[in-house]
Structure 1
Amino acid sequence: MLTSYLILLLFGCLTGMTTVLFGFGGGFVTVPVVYGFWSVTAHSGADAMHVAVATSTAVMVVNSVLATLAQWRQGRIRREYIWPMAAFILVGAVAGSLAATRIGDSALRVLFAAYLLVTIADSLLRKGFLSVPRTRKPRPLSRLAKTLGGIAIGSVAACLGVGGSVMTVPLLRRRGLPMAEATAMANPLSAPVAVVGTIVYALAAPALHAQGGRLGSIELPACAALLGGSLPTIALVRRAVARVPDRVHSVAYVTLLVTVLIVMLVMGA
């Protein structure tokens, strides 16, 4: 068991790195890691995907807030792209979190993989993500993107425990923002999803509160181990983002999504 938590600590370092570099808040690393951890350590792997999603949101609360503060101090947060979309993401997150508690574990895993697949295809096939002309001036978000788009992002992100960065980063990217800024603003936009999701998942299974190490569907020891690795990593990596070339940054983003998709498919086979 100790070895398992040491492995989680190491993956926490990767979670912190992806939080800063890609605005994930840790979700796309945390979900498959906790899913595999819970499947192995829990009796018959019961509710592994629900535990993974719930634990992911709890980790994202801390990661996204800390990363937001770090990016804000470095001048990468632009208010016009954050508000009022964050409020509509919050509304969607409530619906998405409640929906996740009513979806079967297998269905939730399939939805997670499908979400990844669609996002990867969209990033590769549509223009405007892998490269943005330096001469292009960033464009503001439309009212539709801020309202209905925000609700959709919050719903999907909270349901799958991924923070919404895989929807907000391409959205901001296609408005002409460089990757460093698009991924930086994914963190404050993920925070509402993480907070709402954590509250809902903590209260979703009150019968489990008596179990050691569990708060609702949240696996607290796994959460602590992941944060133990992610928090110092965020502090170390935050200054390196500006040095990553924009093209390399966007390609690495898609590459990580492909890696996570393959891992989820292998574990679910």
Structure 2
Amino acid sequence: MLLTVGVVVGVTTALFGFGGGFVTVPVITAVDAGLGGDAIHAATATSAVVMLVNAGFATAATRRDVLMRLGRSAPLLVLLAAGGAAGTLAGRFAPASLVRWGFVAYLAVTVVDVLARPGFFRPQRAAAEGGDARGTRGLRSRLGFPIGTVAAFLGVGGSVMTVPLMRRSGEAMSVATSLANPLTVAIVVPAVALSLSTPAGIPHTTGFVGAVDMRAAAALLAGAMPVILLLRRRPPRIPETAHSVGYLLLLIASGAAVALLG
């Protein structure tokens, strides 16, 4: 089952910039349901590992000209990483119900925002500064810390915030979702380091390192990585509207899955 889910994670990573959090959190919550209230903590930690590997792999396979659109984004990346560390630590001590319903609320607010505010489905192409488009035009550096904190707290990669912002700044879905992967890497590196190296509060269970379910992570990655490589080498041509609608439907499905598990 996890191998099959891994294939889906590979598709979402390559096509939507989701390193896997929106799919893996509900799945791992179900797989590790025997942990009771700790299942959601295991899910968010395991999700971070899966996202790091998948997003890093997808970034390495992305065309250089697309990655160059990150421009001078070092301050943004640093603040995303700082937020990732803060969110991981906060999530470690938060009640499981807060993390679970925070995840659902996070997606619900984003769905409403995408539907209510113009610019996501049909963005106005922003005028390029100096003739050179910057993919992170809509992402001000000061947004890095809150985005990283919320994303790491809930075990997601931040693409639910970064992709709409880049869309409203005029980027195509293919570019916005591709750039979401390196931004996700910045968030989850400290999250993974903390999840693996600090006590998890989860009773000793075979296959866990810290709060990370390593067996589940390995199965998900085995299914995802070949798909990411294939879709990066042979990217499908998806109409902008269909690509945007698919992104929205994935958000709704992920939020509903976690809500039902609660």
Q: State TM-score, norm by structure 1.
A: 0.89
Unaligned runs of 5+ in 2: none
Aligned counterparts, 1:1-269, within 5 A: 7-39=1-33, 42-43=34-35, 45-73=36-64, 75-77=65-67, 78-80=69-71, 82-133=73-124, 136-137=126-127, 145-205=139-199, 211-241=205-235, 243-268=237-262
Deviates more, 1:237-246 or 1:257-266: 237-246
Deviates more, 1:87-96 or 1:203-212: 203-212
C-alpha contact (below 8 Å) 1:153/1:167 kept by paired residues: yes
Q: State TM-score, norm by structure 2.
A: 0.91
Question: Do the aligned partners of residues 148 and 72 (structure 1) sit closer, same or farther apart at CA in structure 2, a change above 3 Å counting?
Answer: same
1:100 is paired with a residue of what secondary structure? Answer: helix
Structure 1 CA distance for aligned equivalents of residues 159 and 195 of structure 2: 20
Aligned length: 256
Unaligned runs of 5+ in 1: 1-6
Structure 2 CA distance for aligned equivalents of residues 149 and 170 of structure 1: 13
Question: Do the aligned partners of residues 16 and 205 (structure 1) sit closer, same or farther apart at CA in structure 2, a change above 3 Å counting?
Answer: same
Question: Do the aligned partners of residues 247 and 138 (structure 1) sit closer, same or farther apart at CA in structure 2, a change above 3 Å counting?
Answer: farther
Structure 1 CA distance for aligned equivalents of residues 19 and 240 of structure 2: 20
Query: Per-residue deviation at 1:199?
Result: 1.1
CA RMSD of aligned residues (A): 2.0
Q: Deviations over 1:104-162 (max 9, x none)?
A: 111110100000001111111100001124x543575579x433201111101111111
C-alpha contact (below 8 Å) 1:88/1:154 kept by paired residues: yes
Structure 2 CA distance for aligned equivalents of residues 79 and 263 of structure 1: 33
Structure 2 CA distance for aligned equivalents of residues 117 and 207 of structure 1: 29
1:243 is paired with a residue of what secondary structure? Answer: coil
Deviates more, 1:201-210 or 1:10-19: 201-210
C-alpha contact (below 8 Å) 2:81/2:188 kept by paired residues: no
2:169 is paired with a residue of what secondary structure? Answer: coil
C-alpha contact (below 8 Å) 1:92/1:151 kept by paired residues: yes
